[in-house]
Structure 1
Amino acid sequence: MARFMDVSYLRKYLGSEVSAQQRYLWLGLSLLVSLSYSIPVLFQSFSYPYLMQDDARQHVFWMQRFVDPELFPNDLLADYFQSVAPWGYSTLYWLASQIGFDPVVFNKLLPPVLLLITTVYTFLGAMQFLPSPVAAFISATLINQNLWLRDDVVSGTPVAFVYPLFTAFLYYMMRRSLFPYLGAIVLMGLFYPQMVLISSGILFMRLFTIKNYRLGLTSASELRFYLLGIAVSVGIMLPYVLEPSVYGPILTRAEAQDMATLGNRGWSRFFRNHFTRFWACGKRSGFLPPEWCDISFALPQLGLGLMLPLVIWGRQRFTLAQRVSPEALVVPQALIVSLCWFFVAHALVFRLHLPNRYGEHSIRIVMAVSAGVALVIAWDRVMKWLVNRQSIAQSLRAFAALAGASCALTILLVNPYQLEFDRENFPIDRYAKGIYPEVYEYLSAQPKDILVASLSPEVNNLPSFAKRSVLVGGGGFVLPYHTGYFQQVEERLLENISAQYAPQLDGLKQFIEKYGVDYWLIDHNFTDLTYLSEDVFFQFPIMRDRLIQRLGEGRLPALARVAPNCVVVEVDNVKPVKLLDAACILEQ
């Protein structure tokens, strides 16, 4: 214990003078930190039978076809999400289903595994920057905190694979491990192709070097290494270029600007009047991770991350900075490449999908590593003052600085617990809880080809919990980026609203017969004016105004006058709902 009170020993421990055993110890601690975040969420995910991550409801429900191919026949939603799923992602779930894993269960088991892999590669990548296990531990902890401030990895959707694959790519690139590095590029293309563009951009920048203030090519061996990676990147991206979606064409900017769903109250809101919200922190349009809009978290992340170039530049004063590897250049390279692709994505919106995808993921990773390394270098500098103390006053100042640095590290590591992002506590999982088991059990007992119509927010849960098709969902089901798909769901939504609020039964019956609706799920308060504040109605402002006027005049829709004997399930809880038999409605 006494030697840990020796500042000279602590300085060595921060640097590279540690044994392999000690490095494994810090790696083990990093993995324990990752598990400490993951395990409680994992237990929660299995604590209730009808619980599923919000984004997974759209991206995973159709995979139940792997277990039972008769599910979701001729289902527009299932067919669309299956068509846009990356090949590697859908194949992994298919393989899991072949060995007995239900896709929903597998989805819940994936996040801890992906986070452990990310933790390992972040730790090893940080060690390539600076051979300090303490810095690597801090970096690994920061990336775990970042990932639990969003629901990317916990969703088990394609974006969840960005972090283990991109950190693996960076590590093997810095190690010059050819086949693992190429494998990481291929896997990124199979799971999340946007990251291949970031990776190939970094490789392109590394083809060049500056010597004696002159730009030139790197060495022949490294040139071959990077060019091979670029060639593989081009090859893995070709199928995405040559095989356009059957639900195309891609939405254009001119079309998008007139769409309510991409406005401030839209399900896929993109365009914002606020400059910072649009360019910096927009969930789809901004460059930074959205949670970094909270300044209490952005300052430690960005401040410490951007401090690394400063301490390297002043390495004559920061002794430990002299040991930073030239591989640390990947930080500015990743930032420059990400920024370039971000603006290209804005210029070509939405042909490269969403601009934010080219900024937030790479920034989370490189800033976590950069912050961990910069913090340890600064900490070492404080300890150097303490070792070289020449007077009591200097000793007290150095001790105070050391205590302040220790407090800063402590605050950094516990900071997320003090945040409330989107009114949620850390760690964020965004699990959707189904509160109508009677409805799910009834529908799942019906034939597999039934179709349910509804404007209730609960409609998003039915494909996952009842395993039955819905005419159209809301929110994440109504993606506007492929016009061939969006036009169909928009038409269905408009007709669904018109039918649900039709003043006469004839309009209701025509809708049922047109789409072959078997059941209709309605909220108990669907005739209240307050119900029209649900997001679905803000997608169609003209129709919403019309409905407000009609209900305000006391003209109730025909669906509210359907005979009680058409109700097959009624749940009277916090949000009462009724499930109606469409065949019974036709007989009215």
Structure 2
Amino acid sequence: MAKPTTASDRTSSRLWFGLSLGFALYYGSLALQKSFQAEYVVQDDAREYVFWMQRFLDPTLLPNDLIAQYFKSITPPGYAAFYHGMAILGVQPLWVSKVLPVGLGLITTFYSFALCLRLFPFPITGFITTLLLNQSVWSRDDLGSATPRAFVTPLFLAFLYYLLRHQRLGILIVLVLQALIYPPLVFITIALLCCTLWDGNTRRLNFNQLKFVGICVGFTAIALLPYGLASSQFAPVITRDQAWTMPELHPGGRHPFFNPNPWAFWLIGEHSGIIPPLMPPLIWLGVLLPILMRYPVRFPLVQQINHRIAILPKMIWVSLGLFAAAHLLLLRLFFPTRYTTHTFRIVLAIAAGIVLTILLDTLLRGCKTLVAQRRWITLGTRLTLMTMTMLVFFTYPQVSQDFPRINVRVIKDPSLYQFLKTQPKDTLVATLSDEANNISTLAQRSVLFSKEHSLPFHLGYYRPIRQRILDVMQAQYSSDLRAAKQTIDKYQIKLWLLDQPAFTPLYLTNSTWLSSFEPEFTIALTNLQQGKIPALTKLTHCSVFNTPQLMLLDAACIKTAAEG
């Protein structure tokens, strides 16, 4: 496989780039099929970041809503501004969240293909890399979430592209976008910029580059300021010592981080582990690149690798350094895996693309020799190996039932949300049901709390949320209706939603996240196991909506019953 001539280079690049875009669109279309498979479909994390943005179209929605105010405060301003701009055009935020990943996938494909050509001048390598990278980003729900982290891969690839081309304006613009859309990414890019300060040829500090890095730091600091001020509204952030004592951050809690198994914690933990669960399997061939580069005679194509390839190990070292810092400064820099998962994916995809190209070239060279020597059995073995590799390469998504992974929630019975939409916009619903996760998004009505929105990171937010959960749990399982009346008056609750099996011990034991809220959880479970009947079970006449799974009680009726 020889390096393409100048005359054929454009045609070859266009062909492989077109194929790359074609696969990106194909994977995106599969995601769209899942997102629009029914009328009531919502992506899991969109229930946190996108639900409150419906107020861009109707400012009267979710009035005085603590949850909406909190998630607005932790939403990066650039990300919110994009959705706001679409809302000005009359486009629903939830609709935007479903189609946005397709556009981000195309941007990822463009920059990854262009970046590969800067490192290894073979368009087929760009195709292999972009295909592996697209399969990888669609194997997790990062891209499909359309949340701020969905922008990480395209923004980081854009930064690398402009960095290798020494286009300072492009670097500066991308850095500002990173600060406005996904702030943790700024630490990686600034660190990589700092790696360019040392001139390896003169062995001196590059003062011209130092000045540019200083400008970049200044602009990104200004861009980060609005986010820092908004999120400080619910300060303080929990410390490591506080996090360790919180059951919410241990197995079974709302957001498990710690794990008693040190191997699981440090290696494969979802938020703490150093080894990201990257797919497809072929992407891990990237670890062979340093080995192949040691044998340029045996693998001649190695000599075509550009010296800019040094950016890959720099990315690894920077990511590992920030991974360690994030563990030391737990939650001050967010979760440690945020600094390794995305960068390792990019490094491995690029390295695997180069490795597969080199191995394919070596294999084809060997096949020519075997044909000349008429060694047909050995030739057949090599061709079989190549065919099997290509089959794995192209068919992996088809054999994975969860590909592309966008983690959507499909609502089969939307009657509850349809009913709640008919209620006044200031309606506040109290419930321990998992339906609370969807009400703010699909019914556009406020909930007192929900599992999905109970993030235990900012104490200014989580303390009142935790108290709300304790109050509702105590009132729901009390044999005295006055407890429910006090909770209704305290929070101005309008409706109380119950799962039909809510008053069985099994219901509580299956709701593992509620076990973090002691002593009310144990008291409620013990009372149910002892056969004590909660007062709310006697108020079926207060029901305003029923399904075989749910019962919705009128809070005013509950108060009247308590007073009577």
| TM-score, length-scaled by structure 2 | 0.94
424, 431, 440: which one pairs with 1:454?
Answer: 431
Match of 1:288 in 2: 275
Aligned mates of 1:298, 1:280 — CA distance in 2: 19
Aligned mates of 2:418, 2:281 — CA distance in 1: 49
Aligned mates of 1:115, 1:173 — CA distance in 2: 21
Whichever residue aligns with residue 525 of structure 2, its letter is I
Match of 1:442 in 2: 419
Aligned mates of 1:244, 1:376 — CA distance in 2: 46
Mapped pair 1:411 → 2:411: no
Match of 1:538 in 2: 515
Aligned mates of 2:360, 2:439 — CA distance in 1: 53
- Quote the offset at 1:577 in angstroms: 0.4
SS of match in other structure, 1:246: helix
Tell me the alpha carbon deviations over residues 76-105 of structure 1, each in whole angstroms, 9 at most, x when there is no partner: 100000001101000011010001101111
Whichever residue aligns with residue 452 of structure 1, its letter is V
55, 58, 67: which one pairs with 1:65?
Answer: 55
Mapped pair 1:156 → 2:143: no
Mapped pair 1:556 → 2:539: no
Match of 1:41 in 2: 31
- Quote the offset at 1:180 in angstroms: 1.8
C-alpha distance 269-467 of structure 1, shift in aligned 2 (>3 A) = same
The count of corresponding residues between Structure 1 and Structure 2 is: 560
- Quote the offset at 1:441 in angstroms: 1.8
237, 256, 265: which one pairs with 1:278?
Answer: 265
Match of 2:493 in 1: 517
C-alpha distance 450-433 of structure 1, shift in aligned 2 (>3 A) = same
C-alpha distance 224-52 of structure 1, shift in aligned 2 (>3 A) = same
Whichever residue aligns with residue 462 of structure 2, its letter is F
Instruction: Work out whether residues 74 and 227 of structure 2, in 8 Å CA contact, stay in contact via their aligned partners in 1.
Output: no
Aligned mates of 1:399, 1:205 — CA distance in 2: 47
Match of 2:351 in 1: 370
- Quote the offset at 1:550 in angstroms: 1.1
Mapped pair 1:580 → 2:553: yes
Aligned mates of 1:241, 1:216 — CA distance in 2: 38
Match of 2:471 in 1: 495
Whichever residue aligns with residue 101 of structure 2, its letter is P
Mapped pair 1:322 → 2:303: yes
Whichever residue aligns with residue 104 of structure 1, its letter is L
Instruction: Work out whether residues 14 and 135 of structure 1, in 8 Å CA contact, stay in contact via their aligned partners in 2.
Output: no
C-alpha distance 15-568 of structure 1, shift in aligned 2 (>3 A) = farther
Tell me the alpha carbon deviations over residues 355-384 of structure 1, each in whole angstroms, 9 at most, x when there is no partner: 111111111112111111111011111222
Instruction: Work out whether residues 75 and 469 of structure 1, in 8 Å CA contact, stay in contact via their aligned partners in 2.
Output: yes
SS of match in other structure, 1:353: coil
- Quote the offset at 1:543 in angstroms: 3.3
- Unmatched runs of 5 consecutive residues or more in structure 2: none
Mapped pair 1:22 → 2:12: yes
- Quote the offset at 1:163 in angstroms: 1.3
547, 556, 570: which one pairs with 2:524?
Answer: 547
Instruction: Work out whether residues 454 and 522 of structure 1, in 8 Å CA contact, stay in contact via their aligned partners in 2.
Output: yes
C-alpha distance 28-19 of structure 1, shift in aligned 2 (>3 A) = same
Instruction: Work out whether residues 14 and 380 of structure 1, in 8 Å CA contact, stay in contact via their aligned partners in 2.
Output: no
- Quote the offset at 1:468 in angstroms: 0.5
C-alpha distance 425-99 of structure 1, shift in aligned 2 (>3 A) = same
- Unmatched runs of 5 consecutive residues or more in structure 1: 1-10
Tell me the alpha carbon deviations over residues 115-164 of structure 1, each in whole angstroms, 9 at most, x when there is no partner: 11111111111111111111111111111111111111111111111111
Aligned mates of 1:280, 1:498 — CA distance in 2: 39
Instruction: Work out whether residues 16 and 124 of structure 2, in 8 Å CA contact, stay in contact via their aligned partners in 1.
Output: yes
Aligned mates of 2:205, 2:305 — CA distance in 1: 20
The aligned runs of 1:300-315 (5 Å cut-off) are 300-302=282-284, 304-315=285-296
- Quote the offset at 1:306 in angstroms: 1.4
- Quote the offset at 1:389 in angstroms: 4.2
SS of match in other structure, 1:280: helix
Match of 1:6 in 2: none
- Quote the offset at 1:48 in angstroms: 1.7
- Quote the offset at 1:225 in angstroms: 5.7
SS of match in other structure, 2:234: coil
- Quote the offset at 1:226 in angstroms: 5.5
Mapped pair 1:252 → 2:239: yes
Mapped pair 1:477 → 2:453: yes
- Quote the offset at 1:209 in angstroms: 4.7
C-alpha distance 536-560 of structure 1, shift in aligned 2 (>3 A) = farther
Tell me the alpha carbon deviations over residues 149-187 of structure 1, each in whole angstroms, 9 at most, x when there is no partner: 111111111111111111111111112222222211111
SS of match in other structure, 1:24: helix
When the two chains are superposed, the root-mean-square deviation of aligned CA atoms in Å is: 2.2
Aligned mates of 2:246, 2:4 — CA distance in 1: 54
537, 548, 570: which one pairs with 2:546?
Answer: 570
Instruction: Work out whether residues 3 and 121 of structure 2, in 8 Å CA contact, stay in contact via their aligned partners in 1.
Output: no
SS of match in other structure, 1:579: strand
Instruction: Work out whether residues 434 and 461 of structure 1, in 8 Å CA contact, stay in contact via their aligned partners in 2.
Output: no
Instruction: Work out whether residues 529 and 552 of structure 1, in 8 Å CA contact, stay in contact via their aligned partners in 2.
Output: yes
C-alpha distance 570-241 of structure 1, shift in aligned 2 (>3 A) = closer
C-alpha distance 414-280 of structure 1, shift in aligned 2 (>3 A) = farther
C-alpha distance 558-452 of structure 1, shift in aligned 2 (>3 A) = same
SS of match in other structure, 2:546: strand
354, 366, 373: which one pairs with 2:335?
Answer: 354
Match of 2:318 in 1: 337
Aligned mates of 1:357, 1:164 — CA distance in 2: 15
C-alpha distance 317-209 of structure 1, shift in aligned 2 (>3 A) = farther
**Percent of paired sites with the same residue:** 36
Match of 1:82 in 2: 72
Whichever residue aligns with residue 463 of structure 2, its letter is Q
Mean alpha-carbon deviation: is it higher for 61-70 or for 242-251? 242-251
C-alpha distance 232-327 of structure 1, shift in aligned 2 (>3 A) = farther
SS of match in other structure, 1:569: strand
Tell me the alpha carbon deviations over residues 547-568 of structure 1, each in whole angstroms, 9 at most, x when there is no partner: 2221111112111111x33111
| TM-score, length-scaled by structure 1 | 0.90
Match of 1:7 in 2: none
Instruction: Work out whether residues 524 and 577 of structure 1, in 8 Å CA contact, stay in contact via their aligned partners in 2.
Output: yes
C-alpha distance 244-581 of structure 1, shift in aligned 2 (>3 A) = closer
Aligned mates of 2:42, 2:140 — CA distance in 1: 16
